[in-house]
Structure 1
Amino acid sequence: MALKRMDNVGIVVEDLGGAIAFFAELGLTLEGRATVEGEWAGRVTGLRNQQVEIAMMSTPDGHSRLELSRFLTPPVVADHRTAPVNALGYLRVMFAVDDLDDTLERLRPHGAQLVGELVDYQGIYRLCYIRGPEGLLIGLAQEVT
């Protein structure tokens, strides 16, 4: 059996509405929101008696999805949002955009801040890392034509 696709990337947040607004401004579409709870959900995650609000968002091409989760129970137990870019584990999500300057301008009112600098990579890409809602690390790339 072969791998079919990567279905989604999950991010846990405290402010689900703020995260939805940020990623919608970036260009993702909200597919739906729901509360996930019950015995079956706890068996999957190992967190018995969990209650989680989720929002599924998709990229414009329809190939990638982002699952935003806000845990109601049990409470969040760790916070990795301030980890530097050389920390072990999951690091960031990278999005390709058509206009990096415009994207940054639109995301600033939603709390986006540059981590370092906007750089040119060998005349192929303009790249930057930003901290988005709740300090999430997000990469942005614009192909240079």
Structure 2
Amino acid sequence: MAKNKVLRMHNVGIVVESLDEAISFFSELGLQLEGRAMIEGEWAGRVTGLNSQQVEIAMMVTPDGHSRLEISRFLNPTTVADHRNAPVNSLGYLRVMFTVENLDELLVRLSKHGAQLVGEVVQYENVYRLCYIRGPEGILIGLAEELGNE
């Protein structure tokens, strides 16, 4: 008898103060807005354990259609902690990493949306060029450009 297993990852959730800024940033990165909605009521609170809640969400999908970001802005209850500027060696979720094309050009475009390089762009053997950036509201994002796949 086969064991049940995960089929795929559906999404990664990120909580922000400005949904519009986050949508703009991730759109520049290449994700598409799949939908935007208000999630509220007792049923939603039963899932999150927050009782009654009011949350505006935006679902963004990667160009290949396989991965999603659920970006949330909590109206009620308000946020209780802020991990946006935690260093990369903090416990808990670290970052989302995207495979990208033309890393240098993308960094210039994202800087116009407030992105800042965390350290520097480095090359790992002849496989990847990698970097971490802080996006809107200090969200940590990893970018990886595959090398040698022309």
Q: TM-score range by the shorter chain?
A: over 0.9
Matches within 5 A, 1:126-141: 126-141=129-144
Give CA-to-partner distance per residue, 1:25-52, whole Å, 9 cap, x none.
0000000000000110011111111000
What residue in structure 2 maps to residue 51 of structure 1? 54
Distance across 2 between alignment mates of 1:92 and 1:36: 25
Distance across 1 between alignment mates of 2:124 and 2:85: 25
Code of the residue aligned with 1:80 in structure 2: it is H
Question: When the two structures are aligned, how many residues end up with a matched partner?
Answer: 145
Moved over 2 A (4+): none
User: Structure 1: which 5+ runs fail to align?
Assistant: none
Asked if 1:125 corresponds to 2:128, the answer is yes
Q: CA-atom RMSD, angstroms?
A: 0.6
User: Structure 2: which 5+ runs fail to align?
Assistant: none
Secondary structure at the aligned position of 1:55 is classed as strand
* Alpha-carbon shift at residue 5 of structure 1 (Å): 0.8
Code of the residue aligned with 1:113 in structure 2: it is Q
TM-score (norm 1): 0.99
TM-score (norm 2): 0.95
Give percent identity, aligned residues only: 73
Distance across 1 between alignment mates of 2:113 and 2:51: 34
What residue in structure 2 maps to residue 61 of structure 1? 64
Matches within 5 A, 1:19-30: 19-30=22-33
Range that drifts further, 116-125 or 10-19: 116-125
